[in-house]
Structure 1
């Protein structure tokens, strides 16, 4: 778990870092404090992190985007992350809800630099995060279950690299990180279970695990997967995948 503090006022950011670090240690969090705070740097780090992470965001960031917009972009990569707004703009709380950033808490800067008043607010929010993180860890791993004849197959979604329609047959090839399975099921039936946001299901003959994609060559229509497989698509088809990455920019 990484902890990000994004505030463009350096004295406030450094003070927040000291206070939050001390409370994380006191509550025995297993965490890594991120060194970046600029919105673009935060997003780049989040893309490389598995999450869920903790984000303390100033709403009124005087940068290319404000804290609410940053939170919205963070949600594209860390939907289970814990977002906490630290701000003097209490009047902007409704905007954080309409932007659907699902914040875990709000901490007012009214008591900034007053440890006696500020620390209890930080501690209360971290205690809520601690409880919710325990629940998160106890959630069952999302899986795909397929019955094909006498075979009952259950696979963790994170282990599926891609699913491929076997042309001419009501059959699908499911490729995982360590082996492949051929099942007597339509690909459309399997796609119905691959709806957690991890999979790209708009190709007619494939379902791709986006977390298993290594490179995409849009000019040549080639996709290289984590297991080394290289998939080829027409230029017209690959355009569908391009739209996914364009929305994340």
Structure 2
């Protein structure tokens, strides 16, 4: 999922930008999340340090804080090298500074024209989502699925496990932040996921990197988030081997 962040010290401007973004997400029906809208740059940094998803950042330059938008962008780039940074400011003369700070900004938007502001924000969201969704951008390390008219691009590292749904011909994908049910089959999905994924049951695929504990006697796996999955007898040797290798 692509997360969106807004850092703007002017409350009126921040609410305006936030409303624009919410409306665009609703209209486009993208797999996006407006994670945080704040005047505090440290809240942005704390949040992205704790949440490793790729972000789209709309930043004011003059934040009236101990760090400005340019310094914030530089620190964001350390945590999120693939993130998309957009500056929204009243200071057009500051545009050249984005090159000095080498933060590779996606756009530089002047606040004065509100119609233009909305249009440019919309263009940035469309462009960032398109680039984020591209398999080339993720070098193949994403799982793409479609539910209705909405396409989801989930980093493989975010997937905790996948199980067969009670609904015919459907499977359920679990991450730390979402649960998605869509058309699919376990046996068809497993080869797509790669070597980090293994069957623990004919109806369940687990991500080896999310295995926290194996109970050989009870034949269960405890995964990230406290999820517990059963292990079928036939898969015990391979699961045990994976767990030993992981630890």
Task: Pick the structure with more strand per residue.
Answer: 2
Q: Distance in 2 between matches of 1:141 and 1:134?
A: 11
1:125 maps to what in 2? 124
Q: Distance in 2 between matches of 1:105 and 1:51?
A: 21
- Classify 1:178/1:93 alpha carbon distance in 2 versus 1 (closer, same or farther; 3 Å): farther
Matched, 1:140 2:125: no
1:33 maps to what in 2? 34
SS at match of 2:95: helix
- Classify 1:179/1:108 alpha carbon distance in 2 versus 1 (closer, same or farther; 3 Å): farther
- Classify 1:63/1:178 alpha carbon distance in 2 versus 1 (closer, same or farther; 3 Å): same
Matched, 1:77 2:79: yes
1:56 maps to what in 2? 58
Q: Distance in 1 between matches of 2:70 and 2:100?
A: 10
* Deviation at residue 117 of structure 1 after TM alignment: 3.3
SS at match of 1:63: coil
- Classify 1:59/1:159 alpha carbon distance in 2 versus 1 (closer, same or farther; 3 Å): farther
- Classify 1:139/1:20 alpha carbon distance in 2 versus 1 (closer, same or farther; 3 Å): same
Q: Could you give the per-residue CA deviations for residues 87-111 of structure 1, whole angstroms, max 9, x where no partner exists?
A: 1112111211221111111211011
2:180 maps to what in 1? none
2:102 maps to what in 1? 100
Q: Distance in 1 between matches of 2:79 and 2:36?
A: 19
Confirm or deny: 8 A CA contact 2:4 2:32 kept in the other structure: yes
Confirm or deny: 8 A CA contact 1:90 1:108 kept in the other structure: yes
* Deviation at residue 63 of structure 1 after TM alignment: 0.5
TM-score for the superposition, normalised by structure 2: 0.55
Please list, as runs of the form range in 1=range in 2, the aligned pairs for 1:1-249 lying within 5 A after superposition: 1-37=2-38, 38-111=40-113, 114=114, 116-135=115-134, 138-141=138-141, 178-180=243-245
* Deviation at residue 138 of structure 1 after TM alignment: 4.7
Q: Distance in 1 between matches of 2:52 and 2:117?
A: 30
TM-score for the superposition, normalised by structure 1: 0.55
Which 10-residue stretch deviates more, 6-15 or 31-40?
31-40
SS at match of 2:61: coil
| Aligned length, in residue pairs | 153
Structure 2 unpaired stretches of 5+: 143-193, 197-206, 210-240
